[in-house]
Amino acid sequence: MDDMAAALAREREAIGPLLSLTDPGDALTAYYALYHPAALTRLYVQRGASGRAEGFVATCTTGADLFRPLVVLRAERDRLLGDLLRGGLAAGRPYRFSAPLRYAALLEGLLRLTETRVALVLLLDVTVFEPVLNVLVVPAQGADGGLRFEIRSREGRVLAASGTNWRSPHFAEVYVYSEPEVRGRGFARSVASACTAALLEEGVRPLYVASEGDEASLGLAAGLGYRDSGHREWIAAGVREA
């Protein structure tokens, strides 16, 4: 392990007590702060007088947007958020943000935002999940080497796909996509079911994140057994003011 990776590992250990590895509301932040590849992660930690970590900002390069790092953060006290943003983010650089909804009002006063939305964090209820059997679903490999399931046309075009946006040792966020011409035929449900079942077999708890008001996505998730965890994620894009 090189010096930078070793330093990041120490910082990750220091912020561990600020997160719950078993709480779906912390799952996304825990993945990016603790498990995202070290070469693609920068971590700024705010410490108190005793040297104990009291808050952090992680900026992570992801395949979803190579030019706008994803920012996740936690603070023991809300008043630390301003210090964390000033210490961890470059002024004027565009970022994407994912934070608990309770931080939204404070962050909106500290950032110049171009878009915002609120998403529900849904957790699979394993007692009601019933796998959908569809012989058209075939396993594939995601861009990161992770799980992916597809339905393809006879010509080989992907008509529907499901995989994971991220995966920690504890949770994984399932995504699903289908081409407009096949919607309503159960293809999205079939591939999402296959991905969900595979995660369960591997001992990982599946999550599904959907924007408020996205009835189609919420309905698909509910039909598979995903239930509202009660957690809301504030998702935004913007820059830190100078």
Range 3-119+233-240 has CATH code 3.40.630:
yes
Band (141; pLDDT cuts 50, 70, 90): confident
Tell me the pLDDT tens digit for each residue of 218-240. Answer: 999 999 999 999 999 999 999 99
The pLDDT assigned to 67 comes to: 92
Hey, do 3-119+233-240 and 126-224 end up sharing a CATH topology, with the first three levels equal?
yes
Average of pLDDT values for 165-178? 97
pLDDT higher at 199 or 66 = 199
Among 162, 151, 231, CA closest to 197: 162
The pLDDT assigned to 241 comes to: 82
Distance separating alpha carbons of residues 38 and 242, to the nearest angstrom: 28
Tell me the pLDDT tens digit for each residue of 68-91. Answer: 999 999 999 988 999 999 999 999
The per-residue pLDDT of the chain, averaged, comes to 95
The pLDDT assigned to 1 comes to: 58
Per domain, the residue ranges of the chain are 3-119+233-240, 126-224
The pLDDT assigned to 168 comes to: 97
Range 126-224 has CATH code 3.40.50.20:
no
pLDDT score of 94 more than 80: yes
- 180 DSSP assignment: G
pLDDT score of 66 more than 90: no
The pLDDT assigned to 10 comes to: 95
Band (50; pLDDT cuts 50, 70, 90): very high
Average of pLDDT values for 212-223? 96
DSSP secondary structure, 19-43, as one string:
S-TT-TTTHHHHIIIIIS-GGGEEE
The pLDDT assigned to 4 comes to: 83
Long-range contacts of the stretch 20-27 (C-beta < 8 A, 24+) = 21/168, 21/169, 21/170, 22/170, 24/121, 24/123, 24/171, 24/205, 24/207, 24/229, 24/231, 25/100, 25/121, 25/229, 25/230, 25/231, 27/121, 27/168, 27/170, 27/171, 27/173, 27/207
Band (179; pLDDT cuts 50, 70, 90): very high
